[in-house]
Structures are given as structure tokens and as C-alpha cells.
Amino acid sequence: MGEHTKDKSKIEKLTEELKEMALTLGAFKVGIATTETLAGGPPSADLTYVLPDAKSAIVFALAFDQSLIEPYFRKEEHKALDTNKVRTTTLANGVALEMAGFLQQYGYKAVPQIANFVYRQDSENWLLDMHPPISHRYLAVRSGIGHFGYSGNIITSEYGSAIVLASVVTDAELIPTEPLPEDENYCDECKICLAVCSSGYVDPLEKVTVTLGGKEFSYGKRRSNSRCFLVCGGLTGLNSSGKWSTWSPARFEIPKKDEDFIAALPKTIEAYLERPKIKGGFFICLIPGNRMEYTCSSCHFVCHPDKEIRKARYKMLTESGVVIQEPDGTLKAVSPEEAKKYVESMPPERRKQYESISEEQTV
């Protein structure tokens, strides 16, 4: 009885210490998931994929700077939020690394799981599948960090979906935290997250449901990842309405069918690489040159607990104009008419970097 009490006390102490550590290092929320609370989930909820002896995972959330979101949507300032997202993500990775090192010093096995841009390589088309080693979203929803919004992003009562997640998988036995009550989920399926997504990445009608440790969680079904890669990756940005764009200056047509997105990638990637080189951004293995910047992330930034703010952000984006790129690489928003005229006035070789042109137009 005494040893059992001692072991329980040790587990409780370590659990609380790790939660406090995450919060102290920069997270605003932290949760604990275990192999039991994730049982029955999809492959990316399997902690043993990254650590065969895994028992638990600490998952935590950091927030992006809310004050930078509206200038980004109004097309007044791009780089500030791009840089904030890059560096907050890097901080999350650092927190995971530091926590894993802490556990290792006490004799536990621990593997940090960085926020993004690392994928399972055990399928033939892994670069297109983009399956993460571990889904931070599954850990987060099961451990009470937030709920699923319709988009499939994790939404929180503090910062909406403008957050980044990272985690640490360990063989330490920890006490799991409970998921949030579903009646506290502010998502009313307004689907503004879908309205700001020019790629149609999330199905507007069909949902998927996952079971994690006997509890069910649902969100909108995601279509081909190539949709998100084409638009959120900055390969093109003009909405089908022609009235607004992301921060990408490209105007290549956005396909309607999943299979057409894959076919569109080679041409748009080639054009992307020919445009002026970006400054800043982040590094990723999915594209030649390994460098991209955030030009969209609209579904990530638009969702806020206050629906009036969501609606205001949507209005800002759709009235922000269309982005063009000057020869030195500078991005700026102009009216749709001015943007069209600007691109059409380019020499053919430069114009091909931004939109498809016919053979007659190359002469």
C-alpha cells in the first residue's frame, strides 16, 4: 500500500511539473494524453509509432499575436504575421525539445514532436499524403486543450484557432487530462473558415468522426492535401471571384476536382521558383528550393470565439483587394482591375510567373 501511494505521488508530481514547465516556457494551455485515452484512434494517434514503449504524451499550445491578424487580412502588413507565425512555431518546437531533454535526464525515454513540416515516409506518395508522425490535433482535442472547429483546426476559448501545437511522447506514466465538454465548443458551423479558403479544402457537407479512447470527435472532411498546398502554399492566390486574393501574387486558375490539383502543381511550382526570391519565411521539404512563406493561413487566422470578429475578418479579407508583386519582390494590394491590368502589361516571360498565357500571348 505504501509503495503504491509513493508511486502515485511520483506520477502526480511529474505530471504537474511537466504541465507547469510547458506553461512557463511559453504555452498558454497544456494537456496530457495516454495510450489508453488515444486507443482506437487513427494511425497518427498511435504514440508507439515514434516511441515503441510510449505511455503518455504532453501536448501544448502557443498563441500567435492577435494584433497582427487584422492588418494581415486588410493587406496592410504581411511580414509581421508571417514572421510571428514562423517564430512562434519555432518556439513551440524548442519547448518540445527542452521538455524531452528534461525527461531524458531523469531516465525516461522522450521524443519531441515538432509542430509541423515532418511527415511519415512509409507510403509511396508520402510527400502528397503528408501524414504526421503524431497528430497534435488528436492529442489536443482528447486532452482538453480545445475543440475541433468545422475546419478540423483546434479552436480555443482564448485565441480561437490562431495557435500552434507541439508535443512530447514519453514512456513516463502520466495522469491524463480530460477533454472539454462539447457544450463549451463555440463552433456553430458558421463555415466562415470555408468561405476564406479559395481551394475548397474542406467539404461543406460531409464530416468525419474519430474515436479516441472511447470518445467521439467530428469535423469537416478534408479533401486532397494538394488543394491546401496549391493555395496556402502560395503557388496561386486569386479567389475564383476575381475580387480578392491571398498574399500570393499568382493568378493561376484553381481547379475544382481533387485529381486536377495534382496535375496543376508542376507548372505552378516552376512559376513560383522563377518569381523573386522571398526573404524570411520557413523551410520545408515539399518543394524544390525548400523555402516558402505564409501567404494564406486564412482558416487558421479567421476563427475567433466572437462571431462578430469572425465576420469582420472575413469582410476585411474579401474587401482587401488583389496582391501584385513588383520586380524587386515587394507585395502590395491593389484593386482587382488594377491587378489584372498590371499582370497583363508584363513581358510574356515575366507574366508566365503569375498566370497561364496562351502561345499567342507569348509572341
Domain boundaries, given as residue ranges, for the chain: 2-355
The pLDDT score that the predictor gives to residue 158 is: 98
DSSP class of 152? S
DSSP class of 254? P
Burial category of 175 from C-beta neighbours within 10 Å (exposed 0-12, middle 13-18, buried 19 and up): middle
In angstroms, the Cα distances linking 85 to 9, 37, 69, 242, 295 are 38, 30, 11, 27, 11
The pLDDT score that the predictor gives to residue 93 is: 98
Task: Identify which of 296, 212, 225 has the alpha carbon closest to the alpha carbon of residue 265.
Answer: 225
Distance, CA of 265 to CA of 262 (rounded, Å): 5
Distance, CA of 225 to CA of 229 (rounded, Å): 6
Phi/psi at 135 (nearest 5 deg)? -85, 110
Cell of 225: 492535401
**What pTM was estimated for this model as a whole?**
0.94
Give percent helix, percent strand, percent coil of the chain, each to the nearest 5.
Answer: 40, 20, 45
Do β-strands 322-325 and 331-334 pair in parallel, antiparallel, or remain unpaired? antiparallel
The pLDDT score that the predictor gives to residue 1 is: 47
Can you spell out the DSSP letters for 58-90?
EEEEEE--GGGHHHHHTTS-SHHHHHHHHHHHH
The pLDDT score that the predictor gives to residue 358 is: 73
Cell of 221: 472532411
The pLDDT score that the predictor gives to residue 49 is: 98
Distance, CA of 293 to CA of 281 (rounded, Å): 4
- Would you tell me the crossing angle of helices 79-105 and 2-25 to the nearest 10 degrees? 150
Q: Please, which residues bridge with residue 324 across strands?
A: 332
- pLDDT digit string (tens) for the chain, length 363 residues: 455 565 779 999 999 999 999 999 999 999 999 999 999 999 999 999 999 999 999 999 999 999 999 999 999 999 999 999 999 999 999 999 999 999 999 999 999 999 998 988 888 887 777 889 999 999 999 999 999 999 999 999 999 999 999 999 999 999 999 999 999 999 999 999 999 999 999 999 999 999 999 999 999 999 999 999 999 999 999 999 999 999 999 999 999 999 898 888 899 999 999 999 888 899 988 888 888 999 999 999 999 999 999 999 999 999 999 999 999 999 999 999 999 999 999 999 999 999 998 766 665
Distance, CA of 161 to CA of 153 (rounded, Å): 6
